[in-house]
Chains A and B, each alone.
Chain A
Amino acid sequence: MSWTHEYLLYDPDAGNRPELTGLVSDFQRFSIHDGPGIRTIVFLKGCPLHCAWCANPESISPRPEIMLISHNCIGCGKCIDVCPAKCFGASDRIVCAIDRDSCLLPECGKCQRVCYANAVNISGRYLTVEEVMEVVMRDREFYDRTGGGITFSGGEPFAQPVFLLELARTAKVLKLHTAVETCGYVSWNIFNSVLEYLDIVLFDLKHMDPAMHLQGTGVDNQMILENAKRVDASGKPIRIRLPLIPGFNDSEENIRATAGFIASFSNLEALDILPYHRMGEPKWGQLHQDYKLHDVAPHGKDRVLELADIARSFGIEVTVGG
């Protein structure tokens, strides 16, 4: 979590202001693998997909939620004392469980205010466009020197369509380079309304097979594939991203199908193969959700490079790691 000091504490009233607000799960300044140059990523909370490998599971739910880092707990008991709904469970004074059904979020948030040790964290802040841009503009000089800018990610940024539109429009007024990272599962009307303010689209294709896609992500891929073609047809540069998940979409067949599907695109910059990693696993625990891929080992480097070569045989630019 890299909240600037102003947004350190969760404010339950922030979402009730007259100005438009969105729910932001995090910022990442100095991102260099999500679009050109040095960038700031704005993570918008909420996603229509539910992927077991998700590295940002706190951005799936469209609501603020508690992330509990028990090893930070010093056993002061303050959160237990202030919680009006008695949500916390502790063992030896160390907080280790939350009754999330009883939690009063998005109201309340008292527990986080008294947890100085950052054991009780709340993912999500209701911020205005201006507040987001205040953070983003701090690194303007870095963007200008490296061709960088702002990247909207998530979650699924299109799941907060009005806020995203306003962010993207404002970013273009400020002459920032804009990128979006999307799963593509959004109605084309919405996508298209934001597209004119985007300089590049980073578009996930998680599986070419509809049944497998449904099984892995919870949704069908028809609209996603349609949208990918429409983005390409719009003339905007597009990069296709394939999170390479062992046992799910890493067959040669799926690589061929993906590469074959995008080989005819006219505005394709590259296919980015993103090797699976387990760095998101601790966050699943902090949300008290099962990480189903606990035993899945990442690919060896050689296998990833082999698959990249197969994709390359379709005459497209392929990178590993984006």
Chain B
Amino acid sequence: MATKIDVTNLPGPTPRMEAIKKRFINTTPEICVERAQLITESYKETEDLPTHLRRAKAFEKILNGMTVFIADDELIVGNQCTKPRSAPVYPEFSCKWLEAELDRLEKRAGDVFLISEEKKKILRDLFPYWDKKTSNELATSLMTDDALAAQGAGVFTVGNYYFNGVGHISVDYAKVLAQGLNGIIAEAKAELAKVDPTNPDDLKKMHFLHAVIISNEAVIAFARRFAAEADKLAASEKNGQRKAELQEISRICQKVPAQPASSFWEAVQSFWFIQLVLQLESNGHSISPMRFDQYMYPYLQMDKGITAEKAQELLDLLYIKFSEINKVRDEGSTKAFGGYPMFQNLIVGGVDSEGEDATNDLSFMCLQATANAKLYQPSISIRVHSNTPADLYRKAAEVSRVGLGMPAYYNDRFIIPALLSRGLTREDARDYGIIGCVEPQVAGKTEGWHDAAFFNMSKVLELALNDGVDALTGKQLGPKTGALDTFTSFDDVMKAYKTQMEYFVKLLVISDNAVDIAHGQRTPLPFLSSLVDDCMVKGKSLQEGGAHYNFTGPQGVGVGNVGDSLTALKKLVFEDKAITLAELKKGLATNFEGVDMESMRQMLLNRAPKYGNDNEYADTIAHEGALIYCREVEKYSNPRGGRFQPGLYPVSANVPLGTVVGASADGRKSGTPLADGVSPVSGVDQSGPTASVRSVARLDHVIASNGTLLNMKFHPNALKDDRGIQNLVGVTETFFNGGGTHIQYNVIARDTLLDAQQHPDNYQGMVVRVAGYSAFFTALDKAIQNDIIARTEQMF
């Protein structure tokens, strides 16, 4: 590149960037009906075709028919909807909930979407076509009654993929940049030449490859619609500079993503088209750019004409584009995924496939773009290893100080071995990135199904202490493992917990696999599949097992509550004999009503050791409670030929999952939130962050290879100077040295959050980290806001 980049002094936001951001903030999300109309028309036209071809034809129709526009001053172009931040509709996955909630979209507590009566009518008219045709309805019919009952009681939810596309993937962006989609098409044609249609598998492969070619050509044509739009705008543009920009946009969109990129601007635009259309093909979220600093760097290096300012501005503008992507979820899901999150995770740093430090100028610039844009997308992350340059660590800590809850820090030293243990090659394990919140995988080769479920570990313990009977409904939900007052030892408690766990993990597996099979049958994604190894060679979509690596990753929620409950039982009931089982049974059944029961609750809260305070007794039990879940999950296989792998993170599902759990032996009242990720229970981590970090490191993070999540919240004072940055690095390094895999820092003061609750208008742009992602605080449901505020504030 022409000028050397000074990574210690990167350019701030440009006036263009500020103007586009302001426009973005002032845009209210709406529902866009174009995609729903186009796909419904297409499906009606193609009822006689094989599924892959139907999918490709529908994708083509959407890309050809949807509105395209280039907004004022934009350099990176490509829109998902008729307006930025609007959300398309994907009726082929599910639409009954949307039909039922159409009138609630503007009125609900969080993640509001505007929609006109006219658009509601359009949707109401087309929804009947989809009756019984969705992936959701097929999945339901594949599930067993006991699995549906367990979901109904809130033992686990598979809602994410049950109602939506899967997403949670990172494609081979490097290949698109280097070969263009023409390269992908050529590869498909080469495979096609090898096909022998008399072989039944090859006959299916042939249709799949045709679908790949149609889809890729549709994307090229889509890009050229922007070239035409730019030409049109340029023709009437008076401002000479803008006219030249539009002409350049036209040239670039004519060229990429069809052909290889040969400048940084071309590479960014090519990347964006891919990132955008993946979200139009399916409504899966967490489509993650991952190691952007690695695959984009060659294009920055080869770009002789570009300045640091221009390169930074292009990145900053791309970050706004990331934030424009949106998705409408059902009201229940907004409680688990609050804040319009799309979880597009971009990670910098780490080692390369040889094990050497991979940091480059772009690693710094990606962090700088987060500080410049101050938006919640992309979710920015940093990989840390033994030789991470001090400057990069420092840059990351400086961005943490901005208060967006980003970046998240990931530990190469334990994640790489965790991935090796799941069968990745050494080179692939070293090349991992992060999907969505916290889930590690290698790009372009993996169908990780990372967000397979939220599994309510706390509910399972409730059932274990209640003879398998749901405390809230009185229904026999699990096996009869004995009433609480029949246990004679702590071992009896653990046995009951294990038995219930075995039972409900089985039901979880049935549910996940039912959804998985349904996606394979009804909603395969040929374009996405063409960008992931080994789909084209195998002749199978990702959804049918085409990927090189296949996993299913359900998340355990409530580690801290299970640990603290078991600890209180062991200590206060079986060791100290301060509480009898009969008394505890009564307390749990009555939600600790009455002063005697309240007194016992206080004893459970304050007289038993608690996970998160550097107490080995409590930490060991929390470790065991989580391990029982993890060991059970990793026994099973999925329909794509891969294995289940457990994770321990909640997104914000710890709030809704808490509402279905009765009073618990840790002193928690019925219906209140569960602990967040592997973080200690809110409010009991009174020994400060160093103690929390030591406790959390005692869990087995390697077996939880689908990811763990530790949220640390600091007062802004904490990072006000160089010492604060040094201390943040010290905490991160100590945690990582001890075995932790993920940590993130929230640095907004409690008072600020309280004030933001009272005066949301003053805080429209304020981003906080909720769990594995960041969101606008004021867009969150009040219960989630309260949960964030309640987390013990770690005053430096």
Asked if B237 CB lies within 8 Å of chain A CBs, one says: no
Q: Is the beta-carbon distance between B717 and A74 smaller than 8 angstroms? A: no
Interface residue from B729, B738, B796 paired with A32 (Cβ < 8 Å): B796
- Report A-chain residues with C-beta under 8 Å of the C-beta of B606: 8, 116-118
A231-271 residues at the B interface, CB under 8 angstroms: none
Chain A residue, CB-CB nearest to B596: A76
B731-789 residues at the A interface, CB under 8 angstroms: 731, 733-734, 737-738
Q: Is the beta-carbon distance between A5 and B615 smaller than 8 angstroms? A: yes
A1-36 residues at the B interface, CB under 8 angstroms: 1-2, 4-5, 8, 28-30, 32-33, 36
Q: Is the beta-carbon distance between A142 and B734 smaller than 8 angstroms? A: yes
Q: Is the beta-carbon distance between A38 and B599 smaller than 8 angstroms? A: no
A191 to B674, CA, bound (A): 50
Asked if A175 CB lies within 8 Å of chain B CBs, one says: no
Q: Is the beta-carbon distance between B737 and A141 smaller than 8 angstroms? A: yes
- Report B-chain residues with C-beta under 8 Å of the C-beta of A292: none
Chain B residue, CB-CB nearest to A147: B726
A30 to B688, CA, bound (A): 6
Asked if B687 CB lies within 8 Å of chain A CBs, one says: yes
Asked if A138 CB lies within 8 Å of chain B CBs, one says: yes
Q: Is the beta-carbon distance between B614 and A138 smaller than 8 angstroms? A: yes
Q: Is the beta-carbon distance between B687 and A29 smaller than 8 angstroms? A: yes
Among B609, B689, B718, B734, max chain A CB count under 10 A is at B734
Q: Is the beta-carbon distance between A38 and B730 smaller than 8 angstroms? A: yes
Chain A residue, CB-CB nearest to B691: A29
- Report B-chain residues with C-beta under 8 Å of the C-beta of A36: 723
- Report A-chain residues with C-beta under 8 Å of the C-beta of B731: 38, 142
Asked if A294 CB lies within 8 Å of chain B CBs, one says: no
Asked if A48 CB lies within 8 Å of chain B CBs, one says: no
- Report B-chain residues with C-beta under 8 Å of the C-beta of A29: 687-688, 690-691
Q: Is the beta-carbon distance between B599 and A2 smaller than 8 angstroms? A: no
Q: Is the beta-carbon distance between B688 and A2 smaller than 8 angstroms? A: yes
How many chain-A residues does the 8 Å CB contact rule pick out?
29
Interface residue from B607, B686, B717, B729 paired with A2 (Cβ < 8 Å): B686
Asked if B694 CB lies within 8 Å of chain A CBs, one says: yes
B634-670 residues at the A interface, CB under 8 angstroms: none
A91-118 residues at the B interface, CB under 8 angstroms: 116-118
Q: Is the beta-carbon distance between B733 and A145 smaller than 8 angstroms? A: yes
Q: Is the beta-carbon distance between A138 and B727 smaller than 8 angstroms? A: no
- Report B-chain residues with C-beta under 8 Å of the C-beta of A1: 686
A145 to B718, CA, bound (A): 17
B698-740 residues at the A interface, CB under 8 angstroms: 717-718, 723-724, 726-727, 729-731, 733-734, 737-738
Asked if A215 CB lies within 8 Å of chain B CBs, one says: no
Asked if B603 CB lies within 8 Å of chain A CBs, one says: yes
Asked if B40 CB lies within 8 Å of chain A CBs, one says: no
Q: Is the beta-carbon distance between A74 and B688 smaller than 8 angstroms? A: no
Whether A76 contacts B726 in the complex (CB less than 8 A), given A33-B796, A117-B606, A142-B731, comes out as no
A138 to B738, CA, bound (A): 13
- Report A-chain residues with C-beta under 8 Å of the C-beta of B726: 37, 146-147
Q: Is the beta-carbon distance between B603 and A116 smaller than 8 angstroms? A: yes
Q: Is the beta-carbon distance between A37 and B730 smaller than 8 angstroms? A: yes
- Report A-chain residues with C-beta under 8 Å of the C-beta of B730: 37-38, 142, 145-146, 148
Asked if A317 CB lies within 8 Å of chain B CBs, one says: no
Q: Is the beta-carbon distance between A141 and B603 smaller than 8 angstroms? A: no
Q: Write the nearest CB–CB distance from A283 to chain B, whole angstroms.
A: 16
Q: Is the beta-carbon distance between A78 and B733 smaller than 8 angstroms? A: no
Q: Is the beta-carbon distance between A116 and B607 smaller than 8 angstroms? A: yes
**1/0 per position for B585-605, CB-CB distance to A under 8 A?**
000000000011011101101
Q: Is the beta-carbon distance between B686 and A75 smaller than 8 angstroms? A: no
Asked if A209 CB lies within 8 Å of chain B CBs, one says: no
A47 to B726, CA, bound (A): 33
- Report A-chain residues with C-beta under 8 Å of the C-beta of B595: 74-76
- Report B-chain residues with C-beta under 8 Å of the C-beta of A166: none
Asked if B617 CB lies within 8 Å of chain A CBs, one says: yes
Among B598, B600, B688, B738, max chain A CB count under 10 A is at B688
Asked if B157 CB lies within 8 Å of chain A CBs, one says: no
Asked if A220 CB lies within 8 Å of chain B CBs, one says: no
Interface residue from B599, B691, B727 paired with A76 (Cβ < 8 Å): B599
Q: Write the nearest CB–CB distance from B84 to chain A, whole angstroms.
A: 38
- Report A-chain residues with C-beta under 8 Å of the C-beta of B723: 32, 36-37
Q: Is the beta-carbon distance between A117 and B602 smaller than 8 angstroms? A: yes
B672-702 residues at the A interface, CB under 8 angstroms: 686-691, 694
**1/0 per position for B398-417, CB-CB distance to A under 8 A?**
00000000000000000000
A30 to B613, CA, bound (A): 12
- Report B-chain residues with C-beta under 8 Å of the C-beta of A116: 599-600, 602-603, 605-607
- Report B-chain residues with C-beta under 8 Å of the C-beta of A38: 690, 727, 730-731
Asked if B140 CB lies within 8 Å of chain A CBs, one says: no
Q: Is the beta-carbon distance between A4 and B734 smaller than 8 angstroms? A: no
Q: Is the beta-carbon distance between B602 and A74 smaller than 8 angstroms? A: yes
- Report A-chain residues with C-beta under 8 Å of the C-beta of B691: 29-30, 138
Asked if B620 CB lies within 8 Å of chain A CBs, one says: no
Asked if A321 CB lies within 8 Å of chain B CBs, one says: yes
Whether A32 contacts B727 in the complex (CB less than 8 A), given A4-B615, A117-B602, A145-B733, comes out as yes
**1/0 per position for A117-133, CB-CB distance to B under 8 A?**
11000000000000000
Chain B residue, CB-CB nearest to A40: B690
Asked if B182 CB lies within 8 Å of chain A CBs, one says: no
Interface residue from A4, A5, A118, A146 paired with B727 (Cβ < 8 Å): A146
Chain B residue, CB-CB nearest to A74: B598
Q: Write the nearest CB–CB distance from A257 to chain B, whole angstroms.
A: 28
Chain B residue, CB-CB nearest to A75: B595
Whether A30 contacts B794 in the complex (CB less than 8 A), given A37-B726, A117-B606, A146-B730, comes out as yes
27 contacts between A and B (CB under 8 A): A1-B686, A5-B609, A5-B613, A8-B607, A29-B688, A30-B794, A30-B796, A32-B723, A36-B723, A37-B730, A74-B602, A75-B595, A76-B596, A76-B599, A116-B599, A116-B600, A116-B606, A116-B607, A118-B606, A138-B614, A138-B690, A142-B730, A145-B730, A145-B733, A145-B734, A147-B726, A321-B717
Binding site for B on A (CB under 8 A): 1-2, 4-5, 8, 28-30, 32-33, 36-38, 74-76, 78, 116-118, 138-139, 141-142, 145-148, 321
Going nearest first, the 7 A-B pairs with the smallest beta carbon separation are A116-B602, A146-B730, A116-B603, A30-B688, A117-B602, A145-B730, A5-B609
